[in-house]
Structure 1
Amino acid sequence: MEKPGGYAVHLNHIPDGNDCHLLRKIDFFLMPLLIITFMLQYVDKVILNGASQFGIIEDLDLYTVQGYTPGPDPQPVLDLQRYSIATLIFYWGCVTGLLPAAWLAQRLPIGRFLACTVIAWGVVVMLTVVVGGYHGFLVQRFFLGAVECAVAPGFSIMIALWWRRAEQPLRYALWYTSTGLGGLLGSLLIFGIGHIQGSLRSWKYQYLILGAGTAVWGIVLIFLLPQNPASAKFLKPEERLAAVERIRLEQTGIENKEFKLYQIKELLRDPVTWILLPTTFCLHFANGGISGFGSVIISSFGYSSFQSVLLTGAVGGGVFVTCIIVGITGTFFKDCRTWLVIACEACVVLGACLMWKLNWDTQRAGAIFGFIMCSCFAGGYMMILALVGANIAGHTKKTFISGLLWCAWGISNGVAPLTIKKPEAEEHYPTCFLAIIVTTAVAICGAALLRGYLMLENKRRDREYGSVDQAVAMRLGFEDKTDRENELFRYSL
């Protein structure tokens, strides 16, 4: 029997679970590539958030004048609905491009494909400086989402290809901490670049410099990002074989370029799909309001533009800490991933309540704490990704569930900014925070329902098929069976 890449598969070989040297080699080579890439993507996402404090709203007409304040010195009352639409249309671009990107990720060498998308999004970021107005900015934002969308589901697939199910939560955590690092580093970079005094407006330097850095990194990825374990140049031939065989017992499938329509049909009939999609949508609603409007909300506390940008970086720090704690817990404590989703979402409810109900003048520290607590959604979504990587088998099925989940992410982020209503600033944005509380509560119920369903399914399989035969499981490891086809498959909780 041959495995991809032409290496003979020794079916009687049981992978050594303690092969620490190979695991360390994979970690030290691949994780920095994933972390830096996703960090840069998140930096690109927060540029608009920072640029809103450096003139982009006025320069590109991302507002309308709703009226004027009463008194001897009337000030215009701005309606930021155009800014909201510019924020959310990025995610609609993502939704449009995600399923085509998932199909391309399966059909093309995944490493080269993802590297090229990084170059493309860096170039599109730089092109923001040539946009002359609101409608042109909408077009640019839409295409930015369409080219950025491939990286997240692509990396989800790569983690499933390289790491075992028990190892995945910590690797998802390390990868997803990059959103926190991106938020923190991005805020600092935007703050620093905002002080450049030149012939261009400050926000244009932000897009030019950060976009150029992303494009250069994409070129680096062309040479470094491997296509699969069987052809990875950073491993020796015998290590490539071991890297593939160590995943075989997991029964979650290997890279397979054949598109299998029956796996798509199974995906659409699988109850797990219809639990995960609304849960993901609701979980990300907090992100949709906070990420795009973070500095706008913070400025409502009475801080200056520069201070608002810096304090927004605190959310990045919160994401970083949350992901590390959740990832370590999910790795070393068995079957606790759904519990971790619930715990993270409970923190989001607390944070939203604090921001909504505390007095922003006299209880500002508590409101800032609530703002940071809202970032705990990242830990919850990280565990959702880990659950998908561990529980969805079959390469076509895994690829497209990743695409669908990120579609739910995009739709949620594309709707949530509409709940931010600038005239509600004095009332602490009740529409936004009430929506976050309700959707987060639904996400908690979804995680509990998922745990219950998977527990019942595992018990049913134990009752009908008996315990898992490891030798038989080894033989099934390269057959690209789905989790519902394989009677030896057991779900992680």
Structure 2
Amino acid sequence: MASYNSPTEKVDVMEAETVNASDRSGKGEFYDGKGIRAVPGTTLESFSHLDEKKILRKMDLRLIPMLALLYLLSFLDRGNIGNAKIEGLQEDLNLSPDQYNWCLTVFFFTYAAFEVPSNLLLKKLRPSVWLPTIMVAWGTVMTLMGIVRNYHGLLVARIFLGVTEAGLFPGVAYYLTMWYCRHEIQFRQALFFSAASIAGAFSGLLAFAIAKMDGTAGLEGWRWIFILEGIATVVAAVLAFFILQDFPETATFLTEEEKAFVVFRLKYQAQAGNIDTDQVQVAQAEDFKWKYVWSAFKDWQIWVSIIMYWGVVCPLYGISLFLPTIIKNLGYTANKAQLMTVPIYITAAILAVIVAYVSDRVGKRSPFIISLYCVLIVGFSMCISTSNPKVVYGGVFITACAIYPAFPGVISWLANNLSGSYKRSAGMAMQIGIGNLGGAMAANFYRQKDGPRYILGHALELGFIGAGIIAALVLVFSYIQINRKREAKVAQGELDQYSAEELSSKGDKALTWRYML
């Protein structure tokens, strides 16, 4: 696979779309006020006077902190029911173990169902409008969850929490691909996703502190967990309306030339380095067509990646929803159980960023993903093999420290191998949406009657991790074979049969496309 890493490598532009354009740079690049439409002959060398690292730093500072905050609150709000449970939610609402598990499960049904539509709406309604809007909605639902009085009230609240939260994670995961190149994306995904790990740490700390409000205004401590965290989400959403940017073409913090450079470099990724410049694949048209969505549903790699996704998402939700309960059932008090989750999540967040940085530098995804899945097997094997609290806690610690670095890699790997913005949008939403049905399964892995050892839950996690490893290996060997076949066809001159427009329409199925391993 060849991709450019600096502004000095030349790639000729075949596309010439200049609507009300004027030459603002004096170098032959054309701008239309909505971004760049480059004329024939423009190359990356045209932007060699720009500092690429400085531009990336500007993007990081303006995008990542706000996105991380949004996801921190999202993950906090969907997982805090586990903290509320050990503070008395189940007893106060008279929930049976099965009823509690159903309240966890229904979230994922609506969460999965609304992810693809939400990602398509993201393109239509702009991220700076759509993301804060759904955030206000789920913050309101979360706040109202603090006043539910019975099983049915909690069940309905969790259903609507799934509807309103559905668009955030797939939306942001896709949104980042509209700013960063393939060899840069996992580090940014990890910075964003590590907020989930930090949320786990904050969840324990906040629950420990908020539970002290028990009896305030006549409400139990677990109710205040929902109410205060829901209000915090709404406040953050209001800020997001003013802070979030949409796409590089309209970024207020970039100059016109910087916008042009960011858009340009995104268009010419994953192309074989020995292709004649007259046949370089251009970016897929941004006009929406249902064929782009349909092509995602027909793409085999997305369905295989969903199985791989289950291999990490089932452990993720198993840990996030049940970690406080698992630790408490080892013999610790509720307060200590809340606090003992903190070092696990902090360590996992740090490792997620480190692994992502190395993965981007190496330009590989699969070696890290498969290795981390093997570490997951070690962690859950420790949990299932003994009732010793120290060994089980160590196993859970190891497991979390593999889950959080692996998750951004799984998301980034599929994003790296889908071409065309609408297909990538739909494909990522499918992976995350259908994949999150694994959360519905994981919500029922750790049954109350199986405590304190939870052998069934740990065994099921091991089974899904094994399936994830197999799926990852299938992708690796398939990508290697496809890349070799395309190189052979190019060497035989088959590329001459296609125009630039035909290559563009084929997206990641074009002879010029090389899958990332």
TM-score clears 0.5:
yes
Task: Give a deviation string over 1:230-276, Cα, whole Å, max 9, x none.
Answer: 01112222222222112121269869653322223322332212211
Partner of 2:140: 123
Q: Which residue number in structure 1 is paired with residue 28 of structure 2?
A: none
Deviations 1:306-328 (Å, cap 9, x if unpaired)? Answer: 11111223332243033123202
Alignment of 1:270 with 2:299, yes or no, is yes
1:137 and 2:154 correspond: yes
Contact 1:248 1:478 in 2 (8 A): no
Match of 2:461 among 436, 441, 445: 436
Q: Deviations over 1:137-192 (max 9, x none)?
A: 10100110111010111111111110111111211111111111111122111111
Q: Quick check: 102-111 or 185-194, which moved more?
A: 102-111
- Corresponding position of 2:485: 460
Shift of the 8–290 alpha-carbon distance from structure 1 to 2, 3 Å rule, reads: closer
Stretches of structure 1 lacking an aligned partner (at least 5 in a row): 64-79
Partner SS, residue 143 of structure 1: helix
Cα offset, 1:391, TM superposition: 0.9
Which residue in 2 is equivalent to 1:73?
none
Q: How does 1:61-210 map to 2 (within 5 A)?
A: 61-63=94-96, 80-197=97-214, 198-199=216-217, 200-210=219-229
RMSD: 2.4
Q: Which residue of 1 aligns with 2:514?
A: 490
Shift of 1:357: 1.1
Q: 1:427-463: CA deviations, max 9, x gaps?
A: x111101111111011011111111111111111111
**Residue 6 of structure 1: how far off its partner (Å):** 5.2
Paired position in structure 2 for 1:212: 231
Aligned 8 A contact 1:250 1:477 in 2? no
**Whole-angstrom CA distance in 2 between matches of 1:128 and 1:268:** 35
Deviations 1:260-301 (A, max 9, x none): 222233223322122111221232111232221111111110
Q: CA deviation at 1:45?
A: 2.1
Query: Aligned letter for 2:211?
Result: G
Aligned length: 466
Change (3 A) 1:253 1:98: farther
Give the C-alpha shift of residue 206 in structure 1: 1.2
Please give the secondary structure, in 2, of the residue aligned with 1:27. helix
Distance in 1 (alpha carbons) for counterparts of 2:204 and 2:340: 8
Spell out, residue by residue over 1:472-491, the C-alpha distance to the aligned partner (whole angstroms, 9 max, x if none): x9x7799575211x321111
SS at match of 2:43: coil
2:372 counterpart letter in structure 1: C
Match of 2:375 among 347, 353, 356: 347
Q: State the distance in 2 between where 1:248 and 1:18 align.
A: 19
- Residue number in structure 2 paired with 1:67: none
Deviation at 1:368, TM superposition (A): 0.8
1:347–1:373 contact (8 Å) kept in structure 2: yes
Distance 2:455 2:173 in 1: 35
Identity %: 22
Q: Tell me the SS of whatever aligns to 1:487.
A: coil
Alignment partners' CA distance in 1, 2:72 and 2:51: 30
Query: Which residue is equivalent to 1:379?
Result: 405
The AA in structure 1 aligned to 2:132 is A
For 1:38-49, list aligned pairs within 5 A: 38-49=71-82
Give the secondary-structure state (helix, strand or coil) at the position aligned to 1:393. Answer: coil
Change (3 A) 1:6 1:353: closer
TM-aligned CA distance change 1:255 to 1:83, over 3 Å = farther
Residue by residue, what CA displacement relative to the aligned partner does 1:103-131 show, whole Å, maximum 9, x if unpaired? 21232212211111111111111111221
Counterpart of 2:513 in structure 1: which amino acid?
A: F
Residues 409-440 of structure 1: CA deviation (Å, up to 9, x unaligned): 320000122121222214x1111011111110
Which residue pairs with 2:324 in the alignment? Answer: 295
CA gap of 1:162–1:481, structure 2 versus 1, over 3 A, is farther
Q: Distance in 2 between matches of 1:236 and 1:479?
A: 28
**1:50 to 2:83 alignment:** yes
Q: How far apart in 1 are the matches of 2:443 and 2:357?
A: 32
The unaligned stretches of length 5 or more in structure 2 are: 1-15, 19-31, 271-280
